[in-house]
Amino acid sequence: MRSCQLVENAKQDDTNSEKTRKSLTEINDIILKTIAECRLITKQLYPSVLSEGGLVSVITEELNALKPNGISTELITDKVDKISKPIAEVIYRIFHEAVWNAQRHSKASHIDVILKLVEDGVRLVVIDNGYGFNPYKVLQSGKFGGLKSMRRRAELMNGSFNIESELDKGTSIEAFIPFSVGYKNHA
């Protein structure tokens, strides 16, 4: 943040040309985007989902961190902070991977996240307006380990995972994790 302050001070210096001020503005934007990306990576390494503010708080924070990158978001949610630690962690990991893919691979400019309690579990839906792709081909190709990882996480919790995507129309990822989690062996 000190670098942002130095750039801001340099922009105010009347001895700098307009071209220099423009370059300083671009540098400042890059610094702010880098900070936002570092925060996302930090959350990926250690999600504070299960401590401080809970699942909804962490999801909200992560979605807000996308704004400096030009990605608008909407979160529709129930109060889900009372769900168990294993369910919260799996939901967070799937959410994070879906949002990461929307940002990095599909170049989405808008992401909707729906997190709801349903009769017998928790439902997560992440919808983006990015490029889209053919999910069957991608899953069969062995590429995009993140998609397989999301599916595997849901299945290990006896849940379900679904991807719908169409070229130039975006992607929808839906995961369901039941409250009565019976862990599957990951053989």
pLDDT at 66: 92
Give the Cα separation of 16 and 21 in Å (integer): 7
The CA–CA distances, whole Å, from 137 to 133, 161, 165 equal 8, 16, 11
Mean pLDDT of the chain: 82
> How many CB atoms within 10 Å of residue 90?
24
The CA–CA distances, whole Å, from 162 to 1, 42, 79, 126 equal 40, 27, 23, 11
User: Tens digits of per-residue pLDDT, 59-108?
Assistant: 998 999 999 989 999 999 987 767 888 898 899 999 999 999 898 888 89
Question: Domain 69-178's class?
Answer: alpha beta
Domain ranges of the chain: 2-39, 69-178
φ/ψ of residue 10, rounded to 5 = -65, -35
pTM of the model: 0.70
User: Tens digits of per-residue pLDDT, 26-72?
Assistant: 887 888 888 878 777 766 655 555 566 688 888 998 999 999 989 99
User: Tens digits of per-residue pLDDT, 139-169?
Assistant: 677 665 788 889 999 999 999 999 999 888 9
pLDDT at 78: 81
Share of the chain above pLDDT 70, in %: 78
Give the Cα separation of 25 and 146 in Å (integer): 35
